[in-house]
Chains A and B, each alone.
Chain A
Amino acid sequence: MDRRFFLKGLGTLGCTAAAHPLITSLTLAATPGENRLVVIILRGAMDGLDVVQPRGDRALLAARPGVLAPASDLDGFFALHEGLSDLMPLWQAGELAFVHATSTPYRDKRSHFDGQDLLEAGTGTDLAPAQSRDGWLNRLLTVMPGARAETAWSVGRETLPILAGTAPVEAWAPDQDLQVTPAAQALLAHVYEADPAFHAASATAFDLAGLEEGAGRDAELLAGFVGDRLREDARIAAFSLSGWDTHKAQGRAIRRPLDQLQRAVLTLRRQAGPEVWAKTAVLAMTEFGRTVRENGSGGTDHGTGGAMLVAGGAVRGGQVLGRWPGLAEADLYDRRDLMPTSDVRDWAAQALASLFGIDRTTLEGTVFPGLRMEAPKGLIL
């Protein structure tokens, strides 16, 4: 035998042993464990500065004379948008935390699609988004001991790129027909303005089209389903909530997505039950943040650094994590956006390490290729 080939082969085996489901299932416990992870993708770029308001930063009020909702104090520096006030009991119970000034490695173009692609691919910017066909939750499954199709659920009418890949997953969508999001309606109205026939028909058409009236109900439906699965074999689940692209009249526009988000979290908690909730972590992440300064139409535009919501009994709650960069103009990214001080993938990786015992080499090599993990920050209990 060619000795070099042998060594090379052995080396390859060594590197991938942890990543090989057959081998890991033989060498490790053949169950995915008892902990649960739910990832909620917040599509449209949630305005972290409005949701988790850095009230202690003097520059905030100057940047946001109009767009800043009433909020409840969290820790003396940050305050929580009143649209999430139903979650305050979780904060007090240590089941709710936030990460601020975080983002994916995505920079500058500020496109929703590219930003979401990267968020769900979990890769760096060295790979064009179109090239990364699988999502980081799916890659997680390939290294999770004992993972089977029932381990992971993609919930909702879309196929979530975050769960796309070679590992089998289950999918479920509510059986009712689909709706037009208010954001899509607003964009359509803009497009129709240029065409008299469509403009004339659209006023009534929008009333007739399945507008998302029961949006809160919809979020409860998705979260309720996930909660049920978590009580069974599911250890991983993902769904998305949209409506965060608040370019105009944010004070009003952000209410609905916030309401969906808090209903989703509360429904998950209720439906999972205390025992399962205690072993659950929910990460609600968005593609990027929004501009520090409000724009001319009472909204905010696409930015960079944002915030992540973390909930669950497995979470070390009651804290806002992440190094605060400050809102003075010199502290901003590109003199306009909140400067990201952490990689959102790092937090996710920390959670995977704590929840599922995935080692650092695998996290940095397989799940989030190219990520350099920082020291643990105590996100998960």
Chain B
Amino acid sequence: MDIETIAIRFGYGLPVTVQDKTEVLALLSGPDHAVERWPGPRLADLAPLIRDYRALRKTNDEAAQKDLLQQGDQLALRGVQAIFCRALGSTDGFRERLVAFWADHFTVAPRNRLERALPAILIDEAIRPHVTGRFADMLRAVTLHPAMLIYLNQEASFGPGSPRGKRQKKGLNENLARELLELHTLGVGAAYSQTDVRELAELLTGLTIGPEGFVFDPRRAEPGAETVLGATYQGKGLEPVHQVLDDLARHSDTARHIARKLAVHFVSDTPEAGLVAALESVFRDTGGDLRAVAEALVAHPAAERPVAQKARQPFDFMIAALRALGVGPDAVRSLEFRQARRLLFDPLAAMGQPFQQASGPDGWPEGEADWITPQGLAARIDWAMAAPERLVRPLPDPRAFLSAALGSRAGDRLVWAVGAAESARDGVGLVLASPEFNRR
């Protein structure tokens, strides 16, 4: 496969920073340099703030509350910066795109100001460590992480027969259990029933957060055995939870679900059956080895076709544009908050993808029709025309920029139009607003 196709389909676009597919996979097999170079916030930083804030809410100490919120804002900012810096600066682009895929698969979104750093924390603590590891390990790390427990209301779930459930007359919250089956593992079309959801929800009781982070609280755990998809889980503590997560991770429906999602995300809204089948069998045969699945994805002939069948999502579009413009991590990090909002975050929202604020746990839609809407396209055009000159001075020669941004992929119409543009501003904007650049 030509290296441009790899960089565009499996990375954040041009310029290419690697030589060939072998190097892409070698980087993926190596250590996660980006997370070391651009570290994000950790739960250990945020947990005390959440704990103190919850305690303070009962008081009227507004100054102290405000101070905690501002500390939380700083953590969130660090998280955002880390994500932009890695996407812009890493040569291991495939890893970054895989991380983004899994972060979307396991979507969490902040529900309030103090939770804004949680999505970045989940990525660093539960997703990145396993992105080339086993799916079962990622599933366990995510499911037990406070970010997910908070987002899908698991901390509000009590076994009806548990000591605290009985005493406080509290019951189950099925949210996490349902999404675990529907979104995270088997997929919505799989053969599970409401009974499976409920039994799994009972099995998950006890997972909650304490002052330092995740805890298992036996006083809210439903006693007795639960049956999920025909298998019976019993025992005390986390053991049966680990067991059911492992079983879900290796379920054949999970393999099919994940295989299809990967093919749809990276290659085509309507992927060839052969590609999905190939990924599915690798997933199943390797026991969910995500590096092996990623290699199979890059190696498959369907993924090698140079035809760009996907619309770049707004974040991908913006990162690819910034990279093509030569706007690096330091430039983005040095933006003042107001500038960053105006140049990055407001435009992302206008394009239909407010940063880390997917409207539900199912994450962002994949279809071209979801993104290339009149409103979304208008926002892309606006940004393409307006942002470059605010970020890059002087603007590049549009003809040189065309080849820097698209390599050999520019169509005849675009080449002509860029040459005919009456200013550098229009020419650069045309490149970024073009179908060629908005597809991958």
Give A contacts to B, CB under 8 Å.
43-45, 111-113, 116, 130, 157-159, 161, 164, 177-181, 183-184, 187-188, 190-195, 197-198, 201-210, 240, 242-245, 247
Contact = CB atoms under 8 A, between A and B. Distances in A.
Interface stretch (B85-93, B112-120, B425-433): B425-433
A180 B381 contact: yes
Given A113-B399, A190-B413, A191-B414, A205 B394 contact: no
Contacts of B430: 184, 187-188, 191
Contact of B397 (A130, A192, A201): A130
B56 interface: no
B382 A210 contact: yes
Nearest to B389: A158
B143 interface: no
Contacts of A44: 422-423
B393 A183 contact: no
Interface of B: 311, 342, 368-369, 372-379, 381-382, 385-386, 389-390, 393-395, 397-399, 411, 413-414, 416-417, 419-427, 429-430, 433-435, 438
B413 A180 contact: no
19 contacts: A44-B423, A113-B427, A157-B389, A158-B423, A159-B389, A177-B382, A180-B381, A183-B421, A183-B422, A188-B417, A188-B434, A191-B411, A197-B368, A197-B435, A201-B374, A205-B375, A208-B374, A208-B375, A209-B382
A183 B389 CA distance: 18
Contacts of A183: 421-422, 426
B29 to A, nearest CB: 37
Contacts of B394: 159, 161, 164
A111 B368 CA distance: 35
B83 to A, nearest CB: 25
A184 B429 contact: yes
B411 A188 contact: no
B38 to A, nearest CB: 29
Contacts of A206: 378, 381
Contacts of A208: 374-375, 378
Contacts of B378: 204-209
B426 A201 contact: no
A133 to B, nearest CB: 9
Listed residue (A161, A191, A203) with the most chain B CB atoms within 10 angstroms of its CB? A191
A247 B368 CA distance: 33
Closest 10 CB pairs of A and B: A44-B422, A178-B386, A204-B374, A208-B378, A195-B435, A245-B422, A205-B377, A187-B417, A184-B426, A205-B378
A23 B397 CA distance: 37
Contacts of A247: 420
A45 B423 CA distance: 10
Main secondary structure of the interface of B (DSSP, over half): helix
Nearest to B424: A113
B342 to A, nearest CB: 8
Given A116-B423, A184-B426, A208-B375, A178 B382 contact: yes
B420 A198 contact: no
Contacts of A181: 385, 422-423, 426
Contacts of A43: 422-423
A198 B372 contact: yes
A208 B386 CA distance: 15
Contacts of B379: 209
Given A197-B368, A197-B372, A157 B426 contact: no
Given A112-B421, A187-B426, A197-B435, 11 more contacts: A116-B423, A157-B425, A159-B389, A177-B386, A181-B422, A184-B426, A187-B430, A191-B414, A197-B311, A204-B378, A206-B381
B411 A194 contact: yes
B381 A209 contact: yes
A157 B368 contact: no
Given A157-B390, A158-B389, A191 B435 contact: yes
A111 B397 CA distance: 11
A259 B397 CA distance: 28
Contacts of B399: 113
Nearest to B422: A44
Contacts of A116: 423-424
Contacts of B417: 187-188, 190-191
A244 B424 CA distance: 14
Contacts of A195: 435
A188 B368 contact: no
Contacts of A184: 385, 421, 426, 429-430
Contacts of A113: 397-399, 424, 427
B421 A201 contact: no
Contacts of A243: 422
B438 A187 contact: no
Nearest to A194: B413
A198 B423 contact: no
Given A113-B397, A177-B382, A190-B417, A242 B435 contact: no
Listed residue (A178, A188, A203, A245) with the most chain B CB atoms within 10 angstroms of its CB? A188
Listed residue (A45, A116, A184, A210) with the most chain B CB atoms within 10 angstroms of its CB? A184
A10 to B, nearest CB: 38
Contacts of A192: 435
A44 B420 CA distance: 9
B423 A242 contact: yes
A202 B378 CA distance: 8
Nearest to B415: A191
Given A178-B382, A179-B385, A197-B369, A187 B421 contact: yes
A45 B386 CA distance: 22
A177 B375 CA distance: 17
Contacts of B382: 177-178, 180, 209-210
Nearest to A114: B397
A300 to B, nearest CB: 13
B157 to A, nearest CB: 43
Nearest to B350: A208
Nearest to B380: A205
Contacts of B414: 191
A245 B414 CA distance: 17
A183 to B, nearest CB: 5
A244 B420 CA distance: 12
A201 to B, nearest CB: 4
